[in-house]
Amino acid sequence: MTDRYQDFRRLHESGCFLLPNPWDAGGAKRLEAKGFQAIASTSAGIAWSLGRDDYQITLEECLAHLEVLCAATGLPVNADFEDGFADSPDGVAANVVRALDTGVAGLSIEDRLGAGLYPLEAAADRIRAAKAAIERHAPGAMLVGRTEGFLTGDRDLADSIARLRAYADAGADILYAPGVADLADIRRIVEAVAPKPVNVLISFTPASLSELAAAGVRRVSTGGSLAAAAWAAFDSAADMLLKDGRLPPRG
């Protein structure tokens, strides 16, 4: 794991890299073969593969899935670990240790609480507990502090920035506000938390990878977009089978 930790940290030191999110072992292997340098799990992709909506998987299902991804590839794996599957800081810390035992090189902790967000102090305490668990159990692993305001409807950029700064102070290595679309807003986030690296979810912004890199973004992830594209192709083929009695040609 030391090599995976070092490789993952090195990617965050300069430039901008792509972090695609497969939802199964086959996808992980295909992305590695295509030359990607790291991958991340997707909570939405896992849930859809089980016939559920996002945020409906259990801790045990998440951990089993992370073990599958980490066993399938030699690349560093970042875990989409939702809210840590616990409310209290101690519960988050205990679950972070279990996630690290699956072989991930990093993981994210969200501040989502149902349809809203944890109060800032409580959210920062949860990040602080996750960081302490990492330092005790796997000090090379990286922690992503996520604020979900833009996804829950609270599109107050100043509030998101305040939260990201608090999470950085609490020990987060990487900062992430999924759902931010405007390039100027993304640039403000990068400047506000510098020198710590920022992750951007590319499916929400019209900005290109080169534009995001120029804005100082360190890594760009896909979230559930690859899974959504796969399911869209599945539905299209199934509709053709029902309507025309045939399937699209195999690519």
pLDDT tens for 68-126 read: 999 999 999 999 999 999 999 999 999 999 999 999 999 999 999 999 999 999 999 99
Beta strands per DSSP E along 56-156: 77-80, 106-110, 112-113, 116-117, 142-146
At residue 187, the pLDDT reads 98
Residue 80, helix vs strand vs coil: strand
Whether residue 251 has pLDDT greater than 80: no
Domain 2-244: assigned CATH number: 3.20.20.60
pLDDT per position as a tens digit, 181-232? 999 999 999 999 999 999 999 999 999 999 999 999 999 999 999 999 999 9
| pLDDT band for position 1 (cuts 50, 70, 90) | confident
Within a 10 A sphere around the Cβ of 132, how many other Cβ atoms?
15
Q: Quote the CA–CA distance of 207 and 203 in Å, as a whole number.
A: 9
| pLDDT band for position 2 (cuts 50, 70, 90) | confident
